[in-house]
Every structure is written in structure tokens, then in C-alpha cells.
Amino acid sequence: MLDLNDPQTRHIFEAAKLEDEMRPFLVAVRKENRKLEEGEESQIIAILHKLDTLNQQHFQSSEGTQKTIDRLRKSILKKEDANTTWNHFLELAETEGENFGTWMI
């Protein structure tokens, strides 16, 4: 469970907010079985850049977290199928592992 008194908690919530900004695009793509449109892709890439910065500034440039972010970015840029991209998003946002820990919220 997330400790609300831990100073790191506010950064975990910031990561969750950014992940939630991406979620509607990825849900729609998966549901409609289509590729991301150019505008959607650019918005997600911008959000991933913010997650890069958050990782650098508040998570000691976690190598594992960065690899998880990079896998999602690569999947988007390579225009992989919707399920593959969704699974990379789940690694970042919804599963215990090398990520920001937002799954604890």
C-alpha cells in the first residue's frame, strides 16, 4: 500500500496523472483495433518525455523504470499492434515491477 506520508508519494501521484493522460488514447486504439493517429502519437510521446524527466528528477534516474518507459515509446514509434502497445503500457502503469509504483494507488 502507498504510504501517503512518504515524500515520494507526490511524485508517484504525478506519474499516475501522466499515465492517465495516455490511457484514453491507448484504450481507444485497442478497442477500435487501429493505429494511433499522428496527433495522438505526438501527445503520448510528449507525455513519455515528461515521465523521463520525472524519473530523472525524482526517481534517481531509475534504469528499470527508464527501460519500461522506453519499451512503450519504442512500441508506439514502431507502430506495433494495439495489444502489444497496451501490454507495454500495463507494465508501466498497472503491474508491480520496474516502474513508478503507480499500481499501488
**pLDDT digits over 70-83, tens only?**
999 999 999 999 99
Provide the pLDDT for residue 93: 98
Taking only the tens place, the pLDDT of each residue in 18-73 is: 999 999 999 999 999 899 999 999 999 999 999 999 999 999 999 999 999 999 99
Domain boundaries, the chain: 9-104
The answer to whether the beta carbons of residues 21 and 47 sit under 8 Å apart is yes
DSSP string, 58-85: HSTT-HHHHHHHHHHHHHHHTT--HHHH
Question: Would you give the DSSP letter of residue 35?
Answer: P
Task: Identify the pLDDT of residue 2.
Answer: 84
Q: Which amino acid is at 97?
A: G
Q: Report the half-sphere exposure of 96 (CA within 13 A, side-chain side).
A: 3
